[in-house]
Structure 1
Amino acid sequence: MSALFDVILPVFLVVGFGYLVCWRGMLSEVAVDGVMRFAQNFAVPVLLFSAMAKLDLGANFNPLLLISFYAGAFLSFGLGLSAAYYWLKRPLEDSIAIGFVCLFSNSLLLGIPITERAYGPDALEGNFTIIAIHSPMLYTFGITLMEFARARGQNLSVGRVALRALSGVLHTPLVIGILSGLTMNLLIQAGLVMPEGFWGAVDMMARAALPSALFGLGGVLYRYRPEGEMRAILICCAASLIVHPAVAFGLAKLFGLSVAEIRSSVVTASMAPGVNAYLFAALYGVAKRVAASAVLLATALSILTIWFWLSVLP
């Protein structure tokens, strides 16, 4: 019970505060968009830059940790896409977007603060190892599939479609933050010394990232009322909240990962789909209602599922 009140509740209270403020009309949609734009385009990329710059690459990039997390993610994607396409008879583009909702867990805005509150700031290395390739790999995967689906019947080469997908990924602020941080990491290892004032400014921006992003997330979620297409929405919730963390837990145990790695893998996998899953659907104008409703409903349900996994984990 203490995990629910001491770890999970504070994070979701910040999200709920943003939801309440928008529900009562104290903040306009334009203002919420401004908060989220600041968080996602500036503060969170700086947080990722700082984490990647300071990460011990040799010690923390355990391929078995990544396999335990991403095997469940891609299995969830396959289940979501297959169920949408073969069972619900949705168009291929819709099915890819629904699969992407099952694939893209909220590893950063929810996974980081909950892991930190549960196990302390020193427990985040595994989380940042997962996050280092999360957005680049999953966006590349999702955009590439969608571009190939949309290119059916057109005379577009494989190289051109892949280049279009890669260009879209490289223009993502989160990916820019990750790649910049990894570059800084290599420069530091080569002997570069940055002044303390630089890191002081980076830390100030990084500290603003999660509170502003969680508050803005609540405001954004207020717009997305669950409505219709409940079978597709429940598929997304089941894949992201049950299948993904269960697979991550089973593989982490099978691989004999350390306690810290098991925590990072399973807690991150147990997060609800992120708002970026909706943004992906909105980018292509497909399955937007399913994506938005699934993000909102799964975020609410994840309070209980996260509590369960925190009670199971060592």
Structure 2
Amino acid sequence: MVEIFLRTLPFFAIIALGYWAGRTRFFSEEATAYLTKFVFYFALSAMLFRFAANLRLAEVFDGRLIIAYLLGSAVVYGIATAVALLRGLDMQTSAVEAQCAVIGNVGFLGLPMFVMLFGEASIGPMMLVLATDLIVFSSLIVILINGARDGRMSLAILRTIALGLLRNPMIVSISLGLAWSALALPIPDPMNDFLAILGGAATPGALFAIGASLAGKSAERVQVAGWLTFCKLILHPLAVAIAVLVLIPLDAFSAVIVVSAAAMPVAGNVYMLAQHYGIAPHRVSAAILFSTAFSILTFPVIMAWVQSGQPPGG
């Protein structure tokens, strides 16, 4: 476990550096926003397209993995929703809290980190997890929030979901990359070098942007943030582990990747959704801050556990 902690420490050190830059105002909120845009629309998209273009969908697609991940995530989503409703919250706020419980920072933190930790073999499983989060759960929260506001489903909601997916550069870059691969088109050397150089900025840029954005997060709603952090860092990987190791067993490597992906801290796009709809942005902000900080310790433990097949400390 110590070895895993030391291997992951440099990633969190870059996040800490970004946090320092944002906290001291060396990096302004505006600068952080533009860095995030650069990573999201350019560097990360280039990396995802290049990876996807060198994959074959038939080799990457694993229905068992998707079902197992969805099963484990759905259990935690249900628990978080039930607890929120029992506390007297409305469905919209409950949906936001449930989103915090299962949507990890797979795109900005997980994918770049896992490529360096596990090699390019981790790309396929990670893309499936990322696509599942973006397509299933990002659509679900839009349905629940708009359905609760309007009191019914409508074509407008489906249109909002479709446009959101079409405008998401991660979905677009993965889809274009897989289409390129399906057409068996070679990537010209200049294009490959261009994508490699631009995509190389994704890892340090994303980690630094995560840290700088955390500097602006509040620590309000501490008890709720603590509960959501527990759901995301402990319950989610535990439920997914039961699904991929016991209920729908995957091969050892895929199981490690999927459970480790579930152990990622709360994703920043949950805050963007909460802010956009004006629903509990402060508790989401605190959950992102807490889960990212605590994941420095919990992520190595979860990863060591699933690799060894033994309970933590066992």
What TM-score, normalized by structure 2, do the two folds share?
0.91
Map of 1:181 onto structure 2: 177
Q: Deviations over 1:166-219 (max 9, x none)?
A: 22222222222222222222222xxx3342211221111111112101101100
Q: Indicate the percent of aligned positions where both proteins have the same amino acid.
A: 24
**Match for residue 256 of structure 2 among 244, 260, 263:** 263
Q: Aligned runs of 1:43-58 on 2, under 5 Å?
A: 43-58=43-58
Map of 1:162 onto structure 2: 158
| Cα deviation, residue 56, structure 1 | 2.4
| Cα deviation, residue 157, structure 1 | 5.7
Paired amino acid for 2:84: A
Map of 1:296 onto structure 2: 289
More deviation in 296-305 or 113-122?
A: 113-122
Map of 1:72 onto structure 2: 72
The question of whether the paired residues in 1 share the 8 Å contact of 2:95 and 2:145 is answered with: yes
Map of 1:272 onto structure 2: 265
Q: Deviations over 1:247-301 (max 9, x none)?
A: 1111221233111111111110111111111111111111100101000101111
| Cα deviation, residue 92, structure 1 | 2.0
Relative to structure 1, the CA distance from residue 160 to residue 146 in structure 2 (aligned partners, 3 Å threshold; closer, same or farther) is same
Q: Aligned runs of 1:173-212 on 2, under 5 Å?
A: 173-188=169-184, 192-212=185-205
The question of whether the paired residues in 1 share the 8 Å contact of 2:112 and 2:202 is answered with: no
Relative to structure 1, the CA distance from residue 302 to residue 82 in structure 2 (aligned partners, 3 Å threshold; closer, same or farther) is same
Map of 1:27 onto structure 2: 27
Secondary structure, aligned partner of 2:27: coil
The question of whether the paired residues in 2 share the 8 Å contact of 1:100 and 1:277 is answered with: yes
Matches of 1:265 and 1:44 in 2, distance apart?
Answer: 20
The question of whether the paired residues in 2 share the 8 Å contact of 1:147 and 1:165 is answered with: no
Residues 1:248 and 2:247 are matched in the alignment:
no
Paired amino acid for 1:159: L
Q: Which runs of 5+ in 2 are unaligned?
A: 308-314
Map of 1:3 onto structure 2: 4
RMSD over aligned Cα, in angstroms? Answer: 1.8
Matches of 1:116 and 1:46 in 2, distance apart?
Answer: 15
Residues 1:140 and 2:132 are matched in the alignment:
no
**Match for residue 233 of structure 1 among 222, 225, 237:** 225
| Cα deviation, residue 151, structure 1 | 1.4
Secondary structure, aligned partner of 2:201: helix
Matches of 1:96 and 1:107 in 2, distance apart?
Answer: 20
Matches of 2:56 and 2:164 in 1, distance apart?
Answer: 28
Matches of 1:181 and 1:287 in 2, distance apart?
Answer: 36
Map of 2:214 onto structure 1: 221
| Cα deviation, residue 33, structure 1 | 0.8
What TM-score, normalized by structure 1, do the two folds share?
0.91
Q: Deviations over 1:64-103 (max 9, x none)?
A: 212222222222222222212222x222211111111112
Q: Deviations over 1:43-68 (max 9, x none)?
A: 11222222222222112211121222
Residues 1:63 and 2:63 are matched in the alignment:
yes
Secondary structure, aligned partner of 1:110: helix
The question of whether the paired residues in 2 share the 8 Å contact of 1:241 and 1:270 is answered with: yes
Map of 1:38 onto structure 2: 38
| Cα deviation, residue 232, structure 1 | 2.2
Paired amino acid for 1:74: A
Map of 1:119 onto structure 2: 118
Paired amino acid for 2:3: S
Q: Which runs of 5+ in 1 are unaligned?
A: none
The question of whether the paired residues in 2 share the 8 Å contact of 1:126 and 1:260 is answered with: no
